[in-house]
Structure 1
Amino acid sequence: MSENKIWTREFVGMGLTNFFYFMSQYILIAALPVFIMDDLGKGQWEAGMAMTCFQIGTVLCRPLAGRIIDGVNKQKLLFGASFLFFLLMAGFYFASSLHAVWFLRLVHGAVFALGTTASAAMAALVLPRRRKGEGIGYFAVCGNMAMVIGPLVGLLIMDYLGAHPLFIFLALLALGAIVAGNGKKLPDETILPGGKRQKGFHISDFIEKRALPSVILGGLVFFAYGGVLTFIPMYTRSLGMGGSTSLFFLVFALVIVVTRPFVGYLFDHHGPNATVYPGFAFFSLGFILFSLAGNLTVLLLSAAVLGIGFGALAPAFQTLAVQSAPASRAGVATSTYFWSLDISVGLAAAVLGVAANAFGYPFMYGVICLSSSLLGLAYYFFWRRSLS
C-alpha cells in the first residue's frame, strides 16, 4: 500500500460498508412510519416509538462497541455484525406486529452502532497518517450521501412497490455490506487487538479520555445540527415552504461533497485550525441565515453555508479524536466520539423542542443553536491554546 494513497481497496470497502449501513437507517426513518401506519394500522406515536427503540439500542451499545472492537479481530467482528444486519433486514419482511417491528429496531440500533463504529475505526487505521483528515472527510461523505438518497429511495419504493419489496431491498443492502467489508483481508496490524488489556471492567474500556476535548466539540456541533435534523420539517411548514425540506438537505449534502477535498487538504497540510475556525464561522452564519429565512432563496443559502461549516467541523473533530489515541485504542476513541453524537442529537430533540414550543423556531435556531456553535468556538480556542 502506497504511503500516501487514500483510495485503497481496504478504504473503499469500509466506505461502502458504512454507506450501506446508513442507507438502511435513512430509508427506514422515512419509510417505516408509513409501513406502521398504513400496513399495521397504527398511529404516529407508535411510528415514533420505532425510532426511539433504534436510538435506545444505539446509545446502549455504542460505549460497549469500542471495547469489543479493540479486543477482537475487527474484520471478523464486522462480518458478524453485517450478517446479523442482513438477518434483521430480512426479518422486517416477516414482521406482522408492532412489537416485532419495535424489537427489530432495538436490535438494529445495537448492530448499527457496532457495525458503523467498526468500519469507521478500520477506515481510520488504513489511512496514511499524513492524509488522515482528508480520508476521514471522504469517509464521512458516505453518510452524507445516504442521508440524501435514503429517504428518497425508501419513499419511492413504498409508493410504487410497497413494503415487502422495500424490505427485500434492505436485505440486499445488508448483503452489500457483507461483501464490501470482507472483500479483502486487511493487514493484521489493522484488525488484530493491540496493546495490553486490563482484566475486568474499567471506565477506560468504554471512554477514551484523550479524545474527550474533540468529543465535547463534536457534541456541541451535533447538538446544533440535531435541531435542524429534527425540526426542519415543522420549521419549513411554518414558513409556508414545507415542500422544500428535501431540497434543503440536497443542497446541504451537495455542498459537503463539493467542499470535502478542499477541507481535507487544508486539515492535513495546514493543521486543524485552518478548517475549524472557518468552519465555526460558516456554521454560525448559517444559523443566523436559517433563523431569518423568509423565502426559498435564503433557506437554500443557509443550507449551503451550514453545509460548508458542518462539512469542515464534523470530520475535523472525528480525526482529532482518533489521532488523540494510539492505534490499539482506535475503536474506543471512535465509539466515544459517536456516542457523544448520539446523545447530543437526542438531547437536541428534547431540549430544543421545549425551546421551540416556548419561543418559536427563529429564536431556537438564532439564539440557542448559534450559542452552541459559539460555545464550541470558544472551547476550541482555549483548548488549542493550552496545547501550545
Structure 2
Amino acid sequence: MEPKLWTKEFIVTSFVNFLLTIMYFLLMVTMSNYAVETYDVTVSTAGLVASIFVLGSLLGRLLVGKFIARFGMLNVLVFGLLGAVLVSLSYFFANGVAAFLLIRMLHGFTVGLVSTTTGTICVQTTPSARKGEGISYYSLSAVLGTAIGPFIGMLLINLNNGFEWMFALNIMAGVVCILLLKIVRLRLPESEKPVVTEKTKAFSVSDYIDKQAVPISLLMLTIGFGFSSVTSYLTLYGKETGLIEAVGYFFFIHSICVICSRPFTGKMIDARGANIIVYPCMLLFATGMFVYSQSTATWMIIMAAACMGLGFGNFNSAAQIIALKNADPSRLALATATYFIFLDLGFGLGPYILGHIIQGVGFRSLYMVISCIGLLCIPIYYLIYGNKEKQAYASS
C-alpha cells in the first residue's frame, strides 16, 4: 500500500505557504514601483527595496534552526506569522525611505522564519518513498501564489489607494493563517536531537549551514540571482518596452506551466533521478531569458514566461530535492534553511546589484548576459552533482 501523502499537516502547511507566497510576490513586483512613485528614488534604490526584504528573509532562515531547536516548529510558525502581521501594520506609518527599508527588512525576517518552518514540516511529514512527489506538490502552493500575487498586485497598482489595499491584504492573510493553525491541531514527528558537547556549544558554521547542501544551493543562488532581475523589475521593464499589459500576465503564464508540469517532474525524479529534469530545465531557463531580452510583442513575453516557468520553476524543486537527499534526519531543518539561504542571497543581492548594471547597460543587454550565465550553469551542474548521479544509476 502506498504511504499517505495528503495528511492534514501537509495540507495546512501548504496552504499557509500558498498565502505567504501570494503576499510575498504581490509586494515584490510592486514595491520598487511604489518606492519610485512615493519617494522619488533611483532604479538602484528601488532595487534595494526588493533586496533588503530578501536579505531580511535570509537572516530569518539563518536563525530558524536555533529557534526551532529551542521553541519547537509550531511555536516558531505561529510567532513568525504574528510578527508578519505586526510588521505589515507598520507599512501604514512609514514616513520616509529609511523607515520603509527597515519595515521591508523586518517583514522579510518574519517571512524567512515562516517559510523555512513550513518547508521543514513538509519534508518531515512526507513519506520517504514519495519525497520527490511530496516536495513537488508542496512547491505548487508557492507556484500558485507566484501566479496570483503579481496578478493581484498589477490590478491593485492602478487603483486609488491600491498600495494600502496590498498592505491590508498582508495583514488579513497572516491573521487567517494564525486562526487556521489554532483551529487545526497539527501532529508532527519528533526530530532527532543532535548531541551537544562542549565543542559544539562554541560558534560553528555547521550550526547554521548544512555543508552537504551547499554545492547545489550555490548553483541555485546563481540562477536565482539572474531571475531576480525579472521579478523585481517586471513593472519597470514593461513600462520601458511598452508591454506593461503583457508583463502583467507574465507570472500567470509562468505558473500555469509549472502547475501543469510539476506533478510529472516530481514523480520522474523519484523514479529516475534529478538529471532527467535538470538539464532540460536549465536550457529552457536560458532560452526564456534570451526571448525576454528581445521582447517586442506580447507573444514573446508569453513564450519567455512559459520557458522560464518550465525551466526555473522545475529546477527550483529539483534542486531542493537534491539539497535534502543526503541530509541527516536531525539536520533536515538546516538543510532546508541552507537551500533557501542561498536562494535568498541570489534574490536579495540581485535587484540591488543588477539595478546599478541596468542604469549602465539597460534591461535588454542585462537579460542577454543572464541567458549566457544560465547556459554556463549546465556544465557546472554536471561537475557538482550530475556526473555523480549518472555514475550511481549506472552502477545500480
Aligned twin of 1:327 = 329
| Distance change >3 Å, CA 186–CA 230, structure 1 → 2 | same
Aligned twin of 1:63 = 62
Aligned twin of 1:188 = 189
| Deviation, structure 1 residue 217 | 2.0
> 2-side partners of 1:293 and 1:36: how far apart?
26
Q: What amino acid is the match of 1:175? A: V
> 2-side partners of 1:47 and 1:344: how far apart?
17
Q: Is 1:176 matched up with 2:176? A: yes
Q: Is 1:107 matched up with 2:103? A: no
TM-score by length of 1: 0.87
Aligned twin of 1:276 = 278
| Deviation, structure 1 residue 50 | 4.7
Aligned twin of 1:214 = 216
> 2-side partners of 1:221 and 1:31: how far apart?
22
> 1-side partners of 2:278 and 2:32: how far apart?
37
Deviations 1:333-377 (A, max 9, x none): 1111111111112333244445444444333222x2123222321
> 1-side partners of 2:53 and 2:77: how far apart?
19
Q: Check whether the contact 1:26–1:151 (CA below 8 A) recurs between aligned residues.
A: yes
> 2-side partners of 1:230 and 1:171: how far apart?
22
2:289 to 284, 287, 290: 287
| Distance change >3 Å, CA 230–CA 169, structure 1 → 2 | closer
> 1-side partners of 2:194 and 2:302: how far apart?
48
Q: Check whether the contact 2:289–2:308 (CA below 8 A) recurs between aligned residues.
A: yes
Q: What amino acid is the match of 1:28? A: L
> 2-side partners of 1:9 and 1:21: how far apart?
18
Aligned twin of 1:338 = 340
| Distance change >3 Å, CA 315–CA 100, structure 1 → 2 | same
Q: Is 1:224 matched up with 2:250? A: no
| Distance change >3 Å, CA 4–CA 278, structure 1 → 2 | farther
> 2-side partners of 1:103 and 1:241: how far apart?
32
Q: Aligned residues: percent identity?
A: 26
| Deviation, structure 1 residue 193 | 5.3
| Deviation, structure 1 residue 178 | 1.6
Structure 1 counterpart SS, 2:383: helix
Deviations 1:163-211 (A, max 9, x none): 655544322210222234452222332xx45232331321101111000
Aligned twin of 2:206 = 204
> How many pairs does the alignment contain?
381
Q: What amino acid is the match of 2:40? A: G
TM-score by length of 2: 0.85
> 2-side partners of 1:362 and 1:162: how far apart?
29
| Distance change >3 Å, CA 312–CA 188, structure 1 → 2 | closer
Aligned twin of 2:25 = 26
Structure 1 counterpart SS, 2:134: helix
Q: Check whether the contact 2:87–2:103 (CA below 8 A) recurs between aligned residues.
A: yes
Deviations 1:33-86 (A, max 9, x none): 787788xx6434687665454234223332222333345411222122122223
> 1-side partners of 2:164 and 2:257: how far apart?
34
Q: What amino acid is the match of 1:136? A: I
| Deviation, structure 1 residue 303 | 1.4
Q: What amino acid is the match of 1:195? A: P
> 2-side partners of 1:37 and 1:224: how far apart?
22
Aligned twin of 1:43 = 40
Aligned twin of 1:316 = 318
| Distance change >3 Å, CA 312–CA 166, structure 1 → 2 | closer
Aligned twin of 2:372 = 371
> 2-side partners of 1:213 and 1:106: how far apart?
27
> 1-side partners of 2:302 and 2:131: how far apart?
31
Aligned twin of 2:95 = 97
Q: What amino acid is the match of 1:209? A: K
| Distance change >3 Å, CA 83–CA 237, structure 1 → 2 | closer
> 2-side partners of 1:117 and 1:324: how far apart?
18
What are the equivalent positions in structure 2 for 1:147-158 lying under 5 Å apart? 147-154=146-153, 156=155
Q: Please, which runs of 5 or more residues in structure 1 have no aligned partner?
A: none
Structure 2 counterpart SS, 1:15: helix
Aligned twin of 2:394 = none
- Between 1:254-263 and 1:142-151, the stretch displaced more is 142-151
| Deviation, structure 1 residue 386 | 4.0
Q: Please, which runs of 5 or more residues in structure 2 have no aligned partner?
A: 392-396
| Deviation, structure 1 residue 102 | 4.1
Q: Check whether the contact 1:70–1:331 (CA below 8 A) recurs between aligned residues.
A: no
Structure 2 counterpart SS, 1:188: coil
Q: What amino acid is the match of 1:61? A: G
Q: What amino acid is the match of 2:149? A: G
- Between 1:301-310 and 1:96-105, the stretch displaced more is 96-105
Q: Check whether the contact 1:289–1:302 (CA below 8 A) recurs between aligned residues.
A: yes
| Distance change >3 Å, CA 34–CA 294, structure 1 → 2 | closer
> 2-side partners of 1:31 and 1:313: how far apart?
25
> 1-side partners of 2:245 and 2:375: how far apart?
31
